[in-house]
Chain A
Amino acid sequence: MQSAGLKNGLRRVALWAGLILILLLIVFSIYGAFIGAESAKRFFNSIPMSVYWVAFSVLLISAIVLFKRLLCFRGLFLIHLGCIIIFAGGIIGSQAGFRLQDKLFKTDTIRTGQMIINEGTTERAVELGDGVIKMLSFAIKLVDFKIEYYQPGQLTIRTQNGEGFKIAAEPGQKYVLGDDLGSVEIVRRFEYFKLTREEDKRIAFEDPNGGPNPALEVLLKKSDGSETIRYVFERFPGHARPDDNLQFSYNRLVKDFLSDVEVVKGNKVVTRKNIEVNKPLHYGGYLFYQQGYDSDTSRYTVLGVTSDKGLGIVFLGYILLCAGVFWHFWLRHIFGDREIED
């Protein structure tokens, strides 16, 4: 009798503690949203919050022990177990978790950092957030880096009184701007624009050796019949001559950026992959994902490096959590297995 009373009391405490911890996490999440991602990351990894996470995990475990209902309802059990496993994975992959593992197991794993690799070169150094550089046990070679753009891009024309026109940046495209302003026609599109002078004439041509310099050749026809040629450069948006009453910009949206890399271990290429946004390379306990690139000359790539420690555990937790919620709220009603009625 006494032990049943004690158990009931403990259950009540656990329920109230659970509700309070949930309410606290709602408040912390809203606070975190207001202070920005970087500050929120520091806040949720702080020592007081570490205590909170541990307390939440302990409470979830005790809930499974205290409430028979959680064992009777498969879905509810999976939901709570899933949450415990997600917390465990999160703790293992957190900054504090890494520090503890390094101390306990004398390891020196890189948690997160970035690599800057020039085309054709091999790199092992990973720059950590605080300026420290650590070496990987293998190397990454950047074979090729490519940027793909949506075609055909866009030519934007802005008049002095703020009017704007947008034209597909394709040779042959014509657009009438009005009686006063005349019309524009896109004559040529360049990827590696270069200009040379022959006698008195300026001649534009493609020169791949000079590096990328995307540009458009635009023919302006005024209403009085006069014609002038303008060159519009992607890298100098809004550039205009002092006597121009029109301002031009040439924009192309990046469709994809790809780093063709090889993993080199002991002078042997062990794997090769095109790293793209959403398609990271997974090798040697690390994930290498496309973080940035050299926007001027496209000659180097910036790869984000993160350890995969705890990741599998988090994803296992996700599977259990999803299986639990769908079973408990949807499927058990469909398949008629109502376990114990609510």
Chain B
Amino acid sequence: MLGEGILKGLAETAKNFAGSFFSAERLTTVEYPEDRIAPIEAARVFPILIYDGLDWEAGLRCVACQICEKECPPKCIFIEKSKDKKPDVLGKPQFYPAAFDIDISVCMSCQICVEVCPFEAIKMDTVYELSTEDRFEGLLLDRRQLARPNRYYQQIHPTEAGVVDARLAADKVKSDAKAKAASDATAAKAAAAPAAQNSPKPGEGN
């Protein structure tokens, strides 16, 4: 019948109108600056650099391999490789980033840098209130601004961080065992060497 659909529609909207005053589940609006939804674990905004220990500069996991820089689709990462090497967590001498900049005005939050990183050094942050008054310098973050302790990573992505930490710990155990075996082998070799050489070389023997 003509007009029946209109009446049905009017009833539906009237139901919505009245319902929005009484039932909280209808009214899904979160009044943002005052109210916030609970942080979502899988959320991702912009990348951060993870460091171990307390000193951000010494603890940065990044070894400046520049894979993320090459993979980044919008080319928002700039890395300058160091000239010298310094030991990483495993004690192996590695390069480190002398400069690591991310232009978050260019970054598209695709997470490809995170996927390609072999050192678990770059992860996604969940902070989204990043507005600034300076749209050039304010959005170009250097390695100091990007560095976050591993503790922070465990806090924002607990599940993911658990997996990563377990893997890193296993690597550490493995490399320790390897180092131990190597040092044992050297020690054994040293012991097996003829004792005739009794005069120590300069710099040794203390």
A, B bound: no
